[in-house]
Structures are given as structure tokens and as C-alpha cells.
Amino acid sequence: MTTTNTTREMIIRTGAELIARQGFGATGINAVLSATKVPKGSFYHYFKSKGDFGLAVIESYSRDYDIKLEAILGDVTRTPVERLRAYFESGTVDMTSCGFSNGCLIGNLGQELAAQNELFRARLDEVFTGWEERFAGCIAQAQDLGELDRGTDPLELAGFLLAGWEGAILRAKVVKSTAPMQRFERVFFTMLTTAD
């Protein structure tokens, strides 16, 4: 990675951290600059505008998250349901380690910006759709192996699972405890795990 790319990446990662904690609207470019010690001219060398910067933050987060999902959901040393459980476990650990302050960056931005910015909305929708397809693959494998009940279409169930998980993360943030996330996992598997 060149120095140029490193500086750009550093601005994006610091920005992602600030945006996850306080929202996109409340994160001024000046706050990003002072946290990264990058001069304003450099920022505008890498990003045309704050919107352009926001889209780069989404790209970076989504790329990192894809790698994480591939590692967890593609881990063939575990059964598909064990992989889903590992995903829930990793989300619970992340939520605890940020002190319940961040949640999911894509969910947060969706909440804040979907109605205000069509470009952001469309990109966030693509990211969610990509995640749903990945989970649908893992759920289909679990159904094929008889680990999960076959009664529901995998993509339908993946959408249900991810939306429910986003809601559980929101509830966890408000109660400052991972209990809602653990409850989501418990109820989800109780309802869907085949008895035999």
C-alpha cells in the first residue's frame, strides 16, 4: 500500500469510528481532520465532498465486513448452524467491546440517511442485500443438512434474520446490555431448530 492509500485509509477508518458513534450529520469534517491530524487540503485531495467521503466509508466498512462474513459463514470446519451461532457471538462481543455505543454502521446510516439521501440509500440497500444473500447460502446448507427446519425459503429467512438482528442491536444499545441479542438468538433457534 502506498503512503497515499495509507493516508486515505486512515481518514476513512477514523471517520467510520466517529460516524458509528455519533452519526453522519454530527460528524464534521473538521473533527475528522483533527482526529487524524490531516490538513484540510489533503482531505479534499482524497474526497470531493463530505458525501463522497461518506460513500467511501460505506465501501470500506462493507469490504471489511464481507471478509469477516466470508471467514465466519464460509468456515467448513463448522456446521452451518454453528457458523450462524459464531456470527451472533462475534456481534455480541463487538457490541460489548464498544460499550454499546456503536451498533452496526450500515444500520445506523440507514436509519439516519435513507430518507434524506438517495445515493446513500441505494448503496446501503445493496450492502444489506449482499449480506442477505450470504446468509441465505448458509441457511440453505443448514436446511439441506436437516439442522434447520425446511419450512421457509432461505432468502426469506435470511432477510428475517438480519432485520431481526439489526433490531436486537438497537434494543441492546438502548438497554445497554447484550440480553436482547442473546434473546434473539435463543428464540430464533428455538423456533427453527428441527426436533430430531
Binding site for a copy of itself (CB under 8 A): 21-23, 25-26, 99-103, 107-108, 110-112, 114-116, 121, 124-125, 128, 149, 151-152, 156-157, 159-160, 162-168, 170-171, 173-176, 180, 183-184, 186-188, 190-192
Least distance CB 3 / a copy of itself (angstroms):
34
Residue 38 or 161: which CB sits closer to a copy of itself? 161
Spatial neighbors of 23 by CB under 8 A, at least 6 apart, are 108, 112
Burial class (CB in 10 A: 0-12, 13-18, 19+), 94: middle
Burial class (CB in 10 A: 0-12, 13-18, 19+), 104: buried
Q: For 195, phi and psi rounded to 5 degrees?
A: -70, -35
Least distance CB 4 / a copy of itself (angstroms):
33
Least distance CB 137 / a copy of itself (angstroms):
18
Residue 87 or 165: which CB sits closer to a copy of itself? 165
Nearest Cα neighbor of 87 from 103, 71, 76, 102 is: 71
Residue 73 or 105: which CB sits closer to a copy of itself? 105
Least distance CB 128 / a copy of itself (angstroms):
6
Residue 23 or 137: which CB sits closer to a copy of itself? 23
Residue 73 or 192: which CB sits closer to a copy of itself? 192
Q: Where are the alpha helices (DSSP H) in the chain?
A: 3-22, 29-36, 40-46, 50-73, 80-97, 105-113, 118-144, 154-175, 179-192
